Amino acid sequence: MLSYSSYILLGLAALSVTCHAVSNYPGVFGIPGNPAVDGPRGPPGFLAAQLYNAVSNLQHQLLQLEAVLALNGKIRKVGNKIFASNGKKADFASALRTCEEFGGTLATPMNEEENKAIMDFAKQYNQYVFLGIREGDTPGQFKYINGMPLTYSNWYQHQPDGKGKEKCVEMYTVGTWNDRNCKVQRLTVCEF
């Protein structure tokens, strides 16, 4: 069976073929075209209007799907990010692997609004959540999974206190953070 990311890649490939075909249409994007070769021209802007329509329809259908998923408590959208959970607990490595398998990564709050969206899942499932943050080689220095230093944090009082022995980060159901052993089982919340 194909993984979900393979489907996404196939979809993108199909879209890029479509876009290529469309950009080859004469008269679109300023390419003049030759009626003797390309057949009779439509009214000016006809294809552009069709494209606009197709994009508008896609946009509407995506908004419908997002509304249904949000209504059912499956996703939370903040800006361009979508947070989602499978409702399952896993250790840090397995949770991260699951998110990556589906083309995302572990939920990583970059501001208060994102932190609250992740906290909503913690409350919904009444479980602490693993964040996409890990301790670097210097004890007490926590970083994003891509290695960049934190630009936002919401540590619980006196945290982090593991001094190199708690290299992962859990979010409590009230939204504050604690450094924690990576082997404990926490709710998997991903971002896409």
Task: Report the nearest approach of ligand MMA to the CB of residue 156 (Å).
Answer: 8
Task: Report the nearest approach of ligand MMA to the CB of residue 80 (Å).
Answer: 32
Task: Report the nearest approach of ligand MMA to the CB of residue 162 (Å).
Answer: 6
Task: Report the nearest approach of ligand MMA to the CB of residue 164 (Å).
Answer: 13
Which of 83/142 has CB closer to ligand MMA? Answer: 142
CA distance 75 to 15: 25
Which stretches of the chain bind ligand MMA, using CB under 6 A? 159, 161, 166, 178-180
C-alpha distances out from residue 56 to 52, 59, 60, 64, 191, Å = 6, 5, 6, 12, 25
- Provide CB contacts within 8 A for 110, sequence distance 6+: 151, 152
CA 135, 141, 145, 151 torsion-angle sign: positive
CA distance 67 to 74: 10
